Amino acid sequence: MDEVVQKALVIVQVDPDLGSLKFDVRLDSLPAPGLEGYEVVTKFQVADFYNNKTFYTDSNGLEMQKRILNYRPTWDIQKNYNESYQNITGNYYPI
């Protein structure tokens, strides 16, 4: 898998009323067009954060979706989990 590291500006806002954080990611221009079929993803990592593998993502401004790491209510994500790339893509969410 090829990886291109892109600089971005991340603005973090705290909403004390909702007890939530808002991340606004502003990305520079995309890599030169020589790559076909690539996707841009933002990877968040937080040290010493314990949330019982549960978090929420915004579904296009419509509603907050409850997410549980390595879990899907509609299909068995653990089936063939270690033998496939589902251990990576299974935890990508549209936000």
The predicted-structure confidence for 53-94, as pLDDT tens digits, reads as follows: 898 888 777 788 888 887 878 777 776 666 665 566 777 777
Flag whether 94 is in a domain: no
Flag whether 84 is in a domain: yes
Flag whether 2 is in a domain: no
Flag whether 3 is in a domain: no
89 versus 50: which is more confidently predicted?
50
69 versus 36: which is more confidently predicted?
69
Of the pLDDT bands very low, low, confident and very high (cuts 50, 70, 90), residue 1 is low
Flag whether 12 is in a domain: yes
Query: Is the model's pLDDT at 16 over the cut of 60?
Result: yes
Flag whether 72 is in a domain: yes
Number of structural domains, the chain?
1
Q: What share of the chain in percent tops pLDDT 90?
A: 2
Contact between 13 and 25 (Cβ < 8 Å): no
89 versus 1: which is more confidently predicted?
89
- Token couple for 43: 């990877």
Q: Give the mean pLDDT of 36-54.
A: 79
Instruction: Report how far residue 65's alpha carbon sits from residue 46's, in angstroms, rounded to the nearest whole number.
Output: 20
Flag whether 34 is in a domain: yes
Domain that includes residue 29, residue range: 8-89
Average per-residue pLDDT for the chain = 76
Residue in 67, 65, 71, 66 with CA at minimum distance from that of residue 87? 71
